[in-house]
Structures are given as C-alpha cells and as structure tokens.
Structure 1
Amino acid sequence: MEPRYDTLFYDGRCPLCAREIRTLRKLQRGNLIFADIHEQRDGSTNLPSHEALLRRLHMMTWTGEWVTGLPANVRAWSHTPFGFLFKPLLWPGIFLVASRVYGRWADRRYERKYACAIGNNTAV
C-alpha cells in the first residue's frame, strides 16, 4: 500500500503558528508534510492564493482534496496520538460554535495585520 501523506500549509512568520507546527512535528506519526506558505512559489500548481492561505489554515489531503479552517486543524492533529481530543470539534453543535470562533480569530489575525499576516516581527 502506498503511503498517504497530507500536506499542511502554515504561516511560518507567525510565532503562534510556528509554535503549533513545532509541536505537531514532534508528535506526528510521519504522514504529515509541513509547507510554509511564504516558501511557496507563485504559480505553484493547484495552490489557493497567498491571501487565502494566510487567512485560513489549509491542508491538501493525500487524495488532493483541500480542507480549510477548523477541519484542517482537526485533521492535522489526527496525525498525532492526541487527535481524538480534537474530533469533538467536528460534532454538529460544537462545530457550529467552534468554527465561528476560529473564523473570527482568523479574520481578526489577518485584518489587524498581526506579525504573522504581514510578515514582520511586530504586532500592530
């Protein structure tokens, strides 16, 4: 059977994102690839826009499907022994609330041009 790798696209200039990625790297079981969006070349095949990648967490599954936002985060953590702790975030009632919270947080991070959204080391 061929290995099944998911690719997680993350903001490598965001201190919070970088910390979570370091944790995921340590805990993952080996089938998760990490791609810093700032290292992706313009025109890379089948990639969402740079802005879209900055606004929400994106994952390309091993089947080529794009998963974004909270579901991408849950899927990333499913590559670790702690994935079961994140699965309830996808349950219908919880998902509604959790996805709204995630969306507001992600929009605020981007719109306020935090260091991770504008690429420098100072928050505005």
Structure 2
Amino acid sequence: MAALHYLIISCTLLLSCAKPRTAAISTSSTMNKYIGMWVTGDGYIRQELLPNGRYDEARGQKQSAYTGRYEINGDHIQYWDDTGFTADGTFRGNDTLHHGGYIFYREKPKQP
C-alpha cells in the first residue's frame, strides 16, 4: 500500500511540474498577428517569423545565419536557436520588435 501511495504522489508531482500545453494553444492567434518579415532600420538583419513556429534570420549577405523556433505570449517572444542559444524580445505595437539590442520593423508588402 505504501508503494501505491508513493507512486500516486510521484505522479502528481511530475504532472504539476510539466509544462502546460495550453500556453502554445493560447498563443497561436497572437503568433498569427506577428508572422512575417521583421527588418532592422538599416536592413542588415532580416528575421522572418514563419507560421509553423520557426524563424529564419539573415545577417547581411548571409542567408539563414540563425534559425530556430519561437513562441509568443502576449507581446513577449522567446527564441530557441538550433545551436542552443536562447533570446527574447518584446513587441511594441503591431509594427515594432525590440530584440537583442536592435529595433526591428515589420516589412510592409511591396506595392505592385
């Protein structure tokens, strides 16, 4: 009986420490709001937030200099680079992103 009690307590503790799946679900509508290309004022860094939760960042002439996944919660973005590097940023309004000491602006679609 003691072993069963220990098992129940262990499972309860394990489940209470697990990352809730609702965070990713609740951010999907927020993620859609920010999907697209984000560019520094000088155009040197171009970061594309893809709809599948991945990002692709170019620096200068180097395409895909950094790639990885991201999650958005409210106006906060968290990055996990494929090499293990992590970073974060904050959206200010719909068209400005502060990240890594840089200010990114949403790239506007080109007019035909």
Q: TM-score, normalised by structure 1?
A: 0.26
Q: Which has the larger radius of gyration?
A: 2
* Structure with bigger RCO (C-alpha 8 Å, 6+ apart): 1
Would you tell me which structure has more strand in proportion to its own residues? 2
